[in-house]
Amino acid sequence: MRLIVDGQPIEFDAGDSALIAMLRAGIHPTGGGCLCLGGDCPHCLATVDGVSYTRTCETPARPGMIVERHPREGYPPLPLNNPAAAEEVKARNVHCDVAVIGAGDSGKAAAEEAERSGKRVITLDAKRGQEVVGVYPGPLVVARTPDGMLHVHPREEIIIATGAAEIQPVAPGNDLAGIVTARAASQLAAVGVPLGRVVAVGARPENAEATVADGQLIRFEGNGKVEAVIVRGADGNEKRIECDTVSVGLGLSPRDVLLRMGSGLAIRAVGNAAREPELPACPTSGVVCSCSGVTADDLQRVWDSGFRELELVKRATLAGTGPCQGSVCVPHIRSFLKERGGELQAPFTARPANRQPTLGEVAAGAHHRATPRTALDAEHRRLGARMDRIGGWWRPWNYGDTRAEYWAVREAVSIGDVSTLGKMIVSGPDALELLERLYPTQVSTIAPGRSRYVLLLDERGYVLDDGLICCDGASRYGLTFTSGGSSFAEMWVRDWAETWNLDVRILNQTMSLGAINVTGPLSKELLARAGFTRPMRHMEHTMATVAGVECRIFRLSFTGELSFELHHPAEQSAELWRSLMALGTDLGIKPHGIQTLLQLRLEKGHVIVGQDTDFDSTPRRIDMEWAVRLDKADFVGRQAVLRTNKAPLDKQLVGLEMDAPAPVEGAVIWRGSEYAGYVTSSAQSHALGKAVMLGWVKLFDGVLPTELTIDGRAARRVSLPFYDKEGRRARA
């Protein structure tokens, strides 16, 4: 069996990791540095099958696997065309009582103990391919495994049994190949990797032949590969011992990163992971952090500059910010700072990721915010609509010919999908009381069968939303909200009802009801053909059957033309839509999209909350004080409106017009050379033959300017609406 390293095939044995295979072939993955074979050091990282920074010690060798060593200088390239990585990774959720991380002796014991007391236990171990990425609030333990991500949800406890890492040598020459930790030496011997002459510094490797070098490690010598190790004996003399491999046993440091990462959770460490760290000797020379190439001299340099805190030393040298996350260097840096400053500083914050997952792995199980579709979605697409996300829904932006859509509304008849409107029923003995307190209008004067356009204000007197209140009797009302505002509005209404402890029932029907707006001078004719002939007054609503579908019909107008809004069970939307289209063919019916609707309402000067309003839009600023009854009892925002009305008005949303072409929405408005405001809505009016706009304009010395400049051209402030000033068409 062979894998490919830097283009060269090499043999491997069954059970080999990619690292062992490379070592058998005499290849050091990173050219040099003490190998630990335990996942702690950064010295076996390589690009495996297109994914860089892969720990080859924990990657089982596979036939045909492609290993590329990282460049010695600089970094691996961004994988800008990596087809291998296009595969979707899946995440699996598992639930248990106790999660044990580490299946060594202490982990096994902890798992058995928990199982004996009837707990559901899940044990994860990197040696079995389950690399724990992090421990998170939830609690959640995330692991990468060969067949996807594992999201472990332990109800009760997380037990860290990850053991201890071996302290790495810091001495000149520690970046040579041929240096391994004592445990690694045993493992390599066990699988028959040829080690040559082995010299042991410190604790000797188990089950491996080694000459013991008595004394303190001074340096390694060699050219690329270690040839000798120099130690200072008890007699103070340096001794040079020739060798092919140095085994280093300098003590243990607990693998407690996950424990520290999980602080605040029900988590504890057992076994070696819970031991006190052994502090290595203060480093005097050699590489301390091989991830960032930081030497003992660098530590001294930043110390001399005044970087005294462990965190600042880290930030100044970047030691500890590489793929091993400080597991190699932190013990040495702590030792250095203790020697210089006298104080043993706590290791720096443990941050995920403990083992580096790819973005593809981490994204597993994530989804984009889903964008809801109305029951008419297929109709729109069939009619060739360009769909856009509007107010959080997929809606038809246009059907290809906005001019035709426009004229169908103004001169004939058109239908539009307004199913996305927020729709709510409020019922109960306190229904009226709730609405009186929520809305700035006198709700009690809305008679059954009538509806009213309303603003919704927040406590600061700013406009939150707008919509309708329809009265169905003294204890039952229907409310509508804007498409984008409806989920917030639902929370708002429910929260206040609860806060005031009012006796009401609330049902949100937004997703259950479809709504079609039938608009245009021929809309009455179209409805008559659909079987509805009852006369309705403006702002009236009634129940009736239209083309066989039971509807609640509202007579109202947003487009400026005679209009009826048909609310009906969502499942009948398509049927109703098609019937209306068929019945209106010879009337010139066309559906209109949102782009056209925005222009139609702009010509009528109707405000779109969120587009024309800002976070600080009071009723006075949007020139809609008529919608606010300050003389009624308290309502949300009343105090604020009273207070803010005392200050002089500073800016107002106004109507503006100018010659074509229409400026872009957002264009800056000037009064001479002074900033006056900006345009919020703008369109070239087909009916009026000029550009019409809404925009914010500042008052100058208490006066709204009339003559303005936009895009270097003259614009005028005018009264609203632009179209059909007397409102005859809508009331026809």
Partner 1 sequence: MLALNRIHATRIVATPSALDSAQWPDDRLVFRIAADEALITPPMANAVVSDPYAIVVADSGFAGAWLPMEEALPLLEHACEWELPRERPAFAQGSVAGIPAKLWIEKDRVLLIVPAPFVADFEERMA
Partner 2 sequence: MNEFQEKKIKFAWPEPKRSYDVVIVGGGGHGLATAYYLAARHGITNVAVLERKYIGAGNSGRNTTIIRANYGIPEAVRFYQRSLELYKHLEAETDRWIMHKQKGLLNVAHTESALRTERARAEVNTAFGAKTEFVAPKEIKEICPQIDLTGGNVWPVLGGSYHPEAATARHDRAVWAFAEGAMKRGVHVHQRIEVRGLTMSGGRVTGVETSAGPIAAKAVVGAVGGHVTTLASMAGVRLPIRTHPLQAYVTNHYDLQFDVIASSPGLLFYMSQTARGEMLVGAEIDRQPSYSYGSTYHFLQHCSHRAITLFPFMRSLRILRQWTGVCDMSPDYSPIMGKTGVDGFLVTTGWGTWGFKAIPAGGEQMAQLIASGETPELIAPFGLDRFASDRMMADRGSAGTH
Contacts (CB under 8 A) with partner 1, residues 541-580: 569-572
- Is residue 365 a contact point for partner 1 (CB under 8 A)? yes
Task: Determine phi and psi for 727, rounding to 5 degrees.
Answer: 70, 30
Residue 389 binding: pick among partner 1, partner 2, none (C-beta 5-8 Å cut-off by kind): partner 2
Residue 232 binding: pick among partner 2, partner 1, none (C-beta 5-8 Å cut-off by kind): none
Touching partner 2, residues 145-184 (CB under 8 A): 151
Q: In sequence order, which residues have a C-beta less than 8 Å from that of residue 467 and are 6 or more positions away?
A: 421, 422, 453, 454, 456, 479, 480, 481, 482, 489
3-state secondary structure of 610: coil
Touching partner 2, residues 531-590 (CB under 8 A): none
Residue 475 binding: pick among partner 1, partner 2, none (C-beta 5-8 Å cut-off by kind): partner 1
| Shortest separation between residue 273's beta carbon and partner 2, angstroms | 21
Q: Which stretch binds partner 2 (CB under 8 A): 276-284, 358-366, 582-590, 687-695?
A: 358-366
Contacts with partner 2 by CB under 8 A: the residue count is 87
- Is residue 301 a contact point for partner 2 (CB under 8 A)? yes
- Is residue 158 a contact point for partner 1 (CB under 8 A)? no
Of 11 and 503, nearer to partner 1 (C-beta) is 503
* Long-range contacts of residues 321-325, Cβ cutoff 8 Å, at least 24 apart: 321/291, 321/292, 322/42, 322/289, 322/290, 322/291, 322/292, 323/42, 323/45, 323/53, 323/291, 323/356, 324/40, 324/41, 324/42, 324/291, 325/257, 325/351, 325/354
Task: Determine phi and psi for 317, rounding to 5 degrees.
Answer: -100, -20
Of 308 and 476, nearer to partner 2 (C-beta) is 308
Query: CB neighbours (10 Å) of residue 413?
Result: 26
Q: Out of 14, 80, 86, 366, point to the residue binding partner 1 (CB under 8 A).
A: 366
Judge whether 715 and 668 are in contact, CB under 8 Å.
no
Distance CA 529, CA 708 (A): 49
- Is residue 425 a contact point for partner 1 (CB under 8 A)? yes
Of 516 and 570, nearer to partner 1 (C-beta) is 570
| Shortest separation between residue 329's beta carbon and partner 2, angstroms | 12
Residue window 434-473: x/- pattern of binding to partner 1, with contact defined by CB under 8 A:
----------------------------------------
Distance CA 163, CA 140 (A): 21
Q: Out of 77, 429, 548, 661, point to the residue binding partner 1 (CB under 8 A).
A: 429
Which residue has tokens 């004592």?
182
Q: Which stretch binds partner 2 (CB under 8 A): 386-394, 507-515, 520-528, 563-571?
A: 386-394
Of 50 and 148, nearer to partner 1 (C-beta) is 148
Of 251 and 372, nearer to partner 1 (C-beta) is 372
Judge whether 283 and 299 are in contact, CB under 8 Å.
yes
Residue window 113-152: x/- pattern of binding to partner 2, with contact defined by CB under 8 A:
---------------------x-xxx-x-x--------x-
- Is residue 511 a contact point for partner 1 (CB under 8 A)? yes
Among the listed residues 664, 686, 626, 614, the one whose alpha carbon sits nearest the alpha carbon of residue 401: 686
- Is residue 581 a contact point for partner 1 (CB under 8 A)? no
Instruction: Establish how many alpha carbons lie within 13 A of residue 362's alpha carbon, considering only the half-sphere containing its beta carbon.
Output: 10
Touching partner 1, residues 31-90 (CB under 8 A): 90
Please list the residues that pair with 653 across neighbouring strands.
696
Among the listed residues 516, 506, 640, the one whose alpha carbon sits nearest the alpha carbon of residue 574: 516
Query: CB neighbours (10 Å) of residue 353?
Result: 17
Name the DSSP letter for residue 690. S
Q: Out of 16, 29, 44, 52, point to the residue binding partner 2 (CB under 8 A).
A: 52
Helix (H) or strand (E) holding 533: none
Touching partner 2, residues 63-102 (CB under 8 A): 73-82, 84-86
3-state secondary structure of 696: strand
The residue ranges that bind partner 1 (CB under 8 A) are 90-95, 151, 153, 365-375, 377, 393, 425, 427-429, 431, 475-476, 503-507, 509, 511-513, 569-572
